[in-house]
Structure 1
């Protein structure tokens, strides 16, 4: 590999600097050499070495503004904002037209969450700069912090006007359109951009995503094909094309596209999972099972992988194997609500009622407050002979679902069983008022209560 003359010079300067640090012999470098050395260390995350280079640089070139700006950058990085501001004020008095001083000032204001002020400072820098592309990008990011997506989008558009290959700005523009739910506007923008840049794979990919959002799968497919024509190694385009083909029930073609991604880069758990789902839809159960295994092997923390393999066995009625795999998933991530919900359902299928109740309870503890979870747990507690615990569970459910007949009928039945007639009558009257048709709950879950004279008298009122 050949280095340019400038790269070779920088490499020599770096070697010379590191040799100096080892020997403690002070050697002379011009200020540009120090800037390149510092830049190299900062880019590689070697802050301690960058600080040494800044100190030695300023010892040899005490008036260098650029070296002082690097020092300010370190102050900001280490959150010593007061020191950074003091040094910036000194530099501003010397060089009031230096745009970098304004950029650093804006950086400090941004760190202090003063984004409006940061934008005002950056606007001043725009008047001083020859190349304003980077400044518009920074302003765009500040608008993003303020959730001003329309203004952020406009700033990134100015970047793209100056550099049509600034794909970071292109992505940010579409992100803003997405957040503003302006799909049609995004399509119009991308279409105009592609008129001028017809071989931009990123734009075709983003256009395909917009059509996919509109469920216009044929146009999405065409856009992803153009992305692949523009760059046949573009993994994202193959993935998105595969998703479209799945929607069109073209599972074999979807598998082909997902498989291409496996040869272009290291296998991704997402591609393996989608291939597994496609084989499952095609009835290729052995292949589906194999790809689901590969998915969880590739990424043991991907919940969708474990859920897929668990549901695969559940659909086949093999609940023992489904339980085995959901237990493995829980051992890896015991805080995953989806795992506990599946754990509860599988144990219920196996008639392991205590474990099923434990699964619903854990899901609730982890923040799953769906009505079904509360009701299933209450019914299990009733079956397990724990009516007091069931009522407590339902009272908690009522806080999230007030005026819910399903909750109230269950509470009425439980209180009748506990011989707390006053509470039972209260909840029964509430239930009848909320939705009398749900009386079937009482009839199915509490048949003896349903047939009692007291209940009959309440129902007739």
Structure 2
């Protein structure tokens, strides 16, 4: 079966129903019907048939009484969904009155609903043979031509319909839609301009023009058209909706918010508009406004627990973690199976530094979705942050087993090995990740960065340096790699000018990064620029007071300057933080104390 063809055909069958369930002679409507899916269109069409049975029977005039009887049977069959019976009844009616364009057209409608467009076309042609000006038949025929993909014939029919009844908007819209389908945008716009030129209150025309400009990706003209539709009719909700959606898709959230707020003035507190405003202001991080609209929705629907979730998300985004936790827990008491809300609760607990509780919630999420890559990452990273490296490694080993084609699986496991100081194992895993078919330069840069870390920790200096340089080739904004290159050179006391350039690049990207400022101070120290070194190292300590290495560096600079009292203080702070090279720092501390004592003695005795 050709699914594409069948879908197109069924779409036009639905369109036939919608077109013909409305009288072609009705007055011009000031607003179009709201946009619906194809399924909704068919549903609406059927509802209208059922609701209008009695009205049809009252208004239809058929000369032959027996023909009218069969017509009644057909209408009742349609209302109950028995299309085959309806078609048979229409044929029986036509046998008794074959001069009625009305009966031939009604038969055509039933055949169209059945999906037999070829026979529907024949019925329309017979009706028009009896009365060429009979608009219901011509309108059905145009739609049937479209369903049969005979677009040129459909276009001719719509032009004839417009000629016969230029005051009805629907043929203009349908004709423009045909041109739009064929990507003949100028012709589509021309048809709508004809409508606009002939009629006042042309918001419908401008609205559909906007839809065409959207398809053309001419967003500026689309916005102008929607604005013009609103200008023509300030109550035209479709104009506001389309304009707001356009701005949202363009990420012009402030303009979208302004548009929806204009709509509120027309509609009052419409829940659909309030919901859009809630989400836009959350996106804009204007949490007070987002919360105000959420609370309006809650006042309108106090039993709607989903609004509690929305409010919880606003609290989470605005860092009001206690309030967010209450709402998420309350919701989960009633809906424990909701995995998304449980993930929000876990993230909230994590942000609120309730790590053990957060882990429990993430584990519940994983129980519900054992193959969730993101959940495994969250659990593993949380374990790593708590120093539970062995547990983190187990989690990431399982992640790699489940997701061997994802480069992040290798990065996370390798980095976790590095954190556990199992550098050789980390290097092996990370190098396997190089075989993954990955195109994202940022992820490749991250993988190579962690390879560089493993190599540097294993003392393979030149290989590490080469790897870090590859990282910045892949991603010149990788500040960590720039810093690593600079610090490694500074630590060796070689190529110090190159080291300074690399560290300055890192600081251009993150000017307040205490670790990078420490590297800068250390380069100055190695270059013999002690005053500059002290200045930068003191700044680094003010930003990161719990790093033993920075305090050690500052102690070295103070010692070089002869500021032994300050050096002793810096080394003591380093020792309290338990540095890896504890013996070396202890030796420096003792030497500084001796020098301080000597300095005090010299100052006291004058010798």
**Aligned residue number for residue 421 of structure 1:** none
**For 1:197-276, what aligned pairs fall within 5 Å after superposition?**
197-232=267-302, 237-258=307-328, 268-276=338-346
Contact 2:468 2:484 in 1 (8 A): no
Quote how far apart the aligned CAs of 1:303 are: 4.9
Q: Do the aligned partners of residues 199 and 92 (structure 1) sit closer, same or farther apart at CA in structure 2, a change above 3 Å counting?
A: closer
Q: 1:345 and 2:418 equivalent? A: no
Quote how far apart the aligned CAs of 1:274 are: 0.6
**Aligned residue number for residue 315 of structure 1:** 385
**Aligned residue number for residue 82 of structure 2:** 16
**Aligned residue number for residue 222 of structure 2:** 152
RMSD: 5.1
**Aligned residue number for residue 61 of structure 1:** 124
Structure 1 distance, partners of 2:157, 2:277, is: 46
Structure 2: gaps (5+ residues): 1-45, 54-74, 95-102, 129-136, 507-514, 520-525, 527-607
Q: Do the aligned partners of residues 110 and 342 (structure 1) sit closer, same or farther apart at CA in structure 2, a change above 3 Å counting?
A: farther
Q: Do the aligned partners of residues 204 and 261 (structure 1) sit closer, same or farther apart at CA in structure 2, a change above 3 Å counting?
A: farther
Q: Which whole-Å deviations, capped at 9, do the CAs of 1:232-287 have from their partners, x for residues lacking one? A: 46666434321221244433432344456668989554322111222334555565
Secondary structure of 2:82 counterpart: helix
Structure 1 distance, partners of 2:210, 2:349, is: 44
Q: Which whole-Å deviations, capped at 9, do the CAs of 1:143-198 have from their partners, x for residues lacking one? A: 223444344345445369869595x7545433333456655544444444334433
**For 1:339-378, what aligned pairs fall within 5 Å after superposition?**
339-350=409-420, 351=422, 352-358=425-431, 361=434, 365-369=438-442, 371-378=445-452
Q: 1:398 and 2:469 equivalent? A: no
Structure 2 distance, partners of 1:311, 1:18, is: 64
Quote how far apart the aligned CAs of 1:367 are: 1.0
Structure 1 distance, partners of 2:437, 2:482, is: 16
**For 1:115-126, what aligned pairs fall within 5 Å after superposition?**
115=185, 117-126=187-196
Contact 1:238 1:261 in 2 (8 A): yes
**Aligned residue number for residue 420 of structure 1:** none
Structure 1 distance, partners of 2:111, 2:449, is: 65
The number of residues matched between the two structures is: 409
Structure 2 distance, partners of 1:145, 1:234, is: 36
Give the alignment's TM-score, normalised by structure 1. Answer: 0.66
Quote how far apart the aligned CAs of 1:200 are: 1.5
Quote how far apart the aligned CAs of 1:434 are: 4.1
**Aligned residue number for residue 26 of structure 2:** none
Q: Do the aligned partners of residues 206 and 259 (structure 1) sit closer, same or farther apart at CA in structure 2, a change above 3 Å counting?
A: farther
**For 1:54-203, what aligned pairs fall within 5 Å after superposition?**
54-62=117-125, 63=128, 64-75=137-148, 83-84=150-151, 86-92=152-158, 94-97=160-163, 99-115=169-185, 117-126=187-196, 135-156=205-226, 158=229, 166=237, 170-178=240-248, 182-203=252-273
Quote how far apart the aligned CAs of 1:374 are: 3.1
Structure 2 distance, partners of 1:269, 1:165, is: 39
Contact 1:91 1:101 in 2 (8 A): no
Q: Do the aligned partners of residues 188 and 391 (structure 1) sit closer, same or farther apart at CA in structure 2, a change above 3 Å counting?
A: closer
Q: Do the aligned partners of residues 325 and 119 (structure 1) sit closer, same or farther apart at CA in structure 2, a change above 3 Å counting?
A: farther
Q: Which whole-Å deviations, capped at 9, do the CAs of 1:361-407 have from their partners, x for residues lacking one? A: 36782414264443323443574979779848845852653999957
Contact 1:405 1:435 in 2 (8 A): no
Structure 2 distance, partners of 1:243, 1:131, is: 42
Structure 2 distance, partners of 1:331, 1:30, is: 68
Structure 2 distance, partners of 1:287, 1:405, is: 32
Structure 1 or 2, whichever has the larger Rg, is 2
**For 1:43-62, what aligned pairs fall within 5 Å after superposition?**
50=115, 53-62=116-125
**Aligned residue number for residue 448 of structure 1:** none
Structure 2 distance, partners of 1:235, 1:134, is: 37
